[in-house]
Structure 1
Amino acid sequence: MENRLKDYREAAGWSQGELAQQLGVSRQTINAVETDKYDPSLPLAMRMAKLFVCQVPDIFIDHWEAERN
């Protein structure tokens, strides 16, 4: 899933390790999310949004659209 986590992290002036520590995950997890290799769990995505004072869809972009009949 496309995301803007790196943009939010860099705007906050944090390294991947610093963000990981704030969220209670590994730096490797942050790297995997930023490089679209891992979609975080809903609880982790919600913690990210709370930390950056935004909504989950502000960070994670889902291009799926429902089929309309």
Structure 2
Amino acid sequence: MNNRLRVLRAEAGLSQGDLAKLLGVSRQTINAVETDKYDPSLPLALRMAKVFGVPVDAIFLDDWTPPEPRND
């Protein structure tokens, strides 16, 4: 899942360490989310959205679409 976390963090003038401290996680966790190595839990995603004042789907971009229903 792609995300805009790095962009939002930079726009807010926060380092990875600063954001990690605000969210109560490690800097490594922030790095892993930003590099798409880790998808955060729902509670963490919600906290990120609150920090930046945006909805969760403004941070995390999911290009998945459901398959067409089959008519068997």
Please state which band the TM-score falls in when normalised by the shorter chain: over 0.9
TM-score by length of 1: 0.97
Q: Which runs of 5+ in 2 are unaligned?
A: none
| Aligned-residue offset at 1:68 | 2.7
| Aligned-residue offset at 1:58 | 0.2
CA RMSD of aligned residues (A): 0.6
Matched, 1:28 2:28: yes
TM-score by length of 2: 0.93
Query: 1:19-45 deviations in whole A, cap 9, x for unaligned?
Result: 000000000000000000000000000
**Number of paired residues?**
69
Of all paired residues, the percent bearing the same amino acid is: 65
